[in-house]
Amino acid sequence: MKVRYFATLRDLSGVEEEEYIVRGTQSVEKVFSDLKNRHPAMSGQKSVLFALNEKFADPKTMVSNDDVLAIFPPVSGG
């Protein structure tokens, strides 16, 4: 699967985009947990938003290698 990082998550991961191999059945939250292990600077990020194939996704949503997962930090308006 393709993973895309936005805003501060791009800075913390050090990459804008990367490949992630989905093995078996995995949820968005499992993928994010693995990515935080891959990029320790992101380990403090608890509240993030996910989009799977350009639609907002729940952390429990299941993923496949054909998907594109976008990860965003929380957004606030003013």
- Predicted TM-score (pTM) of the model is 0.92
Alpha-carbon span 19 to 21, nearest angstrom? 7
pLDDT tens, per residue, the chain with 78 residues: 999 999 999 999 999 999 999 998 999 999 999 999 999 999 998 889 999 999 999 999 999 999 999 999 987 655
Locate all alpha helices (DSSP H) within the chain, ordered by sequence: 8-13, 28-38
Domains and CATH numbers, the chain: 2-72 (3.10.20.30)
